[in-house]
Amino acid sequence: MDEDLADEYEVLEAYLGLVNQETQANRKIKTAQTALDKKVIAKYQQLTVDEIKVLVIEDKWFNSLRQEVKTEMDSISQRLTGRIKELAERYGETLPQLETEVAELSDKVEGHLQKMGIV
């Protein structure tokens, strides 16, 4: 047998062994899942009305509602933060600061106009 073919044969044998192990593992998983499903169904039949209410209302719905409220609060918080930043940028300079800056720039413009001979 050729050396390359022997290496390839060994790899294929190892692969076949792994595929067989995977198949067996999948069978075990399926069997365990079926057994678990049967136990869950049997347990559901034993639950009282109050226990069912706890499972459905408190464990399922309340958790969903809590998560939705938290998501909405986070969203509102982010929008408010963005709006506050926008307002801070818009009104960052006070009126007296702007008036001072306008006066300085007006003086510069008048100086340039005087140099150009325009009065």
Residue 82 pLDDT level (bands cut at 50, 70, 90)? very high
Kindly state the DSSP code that residue 47 receives in the 8-state scheme. Answer: -
For 17, the enclosing helix (H) or strand (E) is helix 3-46
The CA angle 39-44-50, to the nearest 5 degrees, is 145
Taking 70 as the threshold, does the pLDDT of residue 1 lie above it? no
Amino acid 11 reads V
pLDDT at 27: 97
Residue 103 pLDDT level (bands cut at 50, 70, 90)? very high
Taking 90 as the threshold, does the pLDDT of residue 75 lie above it? yes
| Angstrom distance (rounded) from CA 82 to CA 105 | 32
Average pLDDT, the chain: 91
Residue pLDDT, tens place only, 17-69: 999 999 999 999 999 999 999 999 999 889 898 888 888 888 888 888 999 99
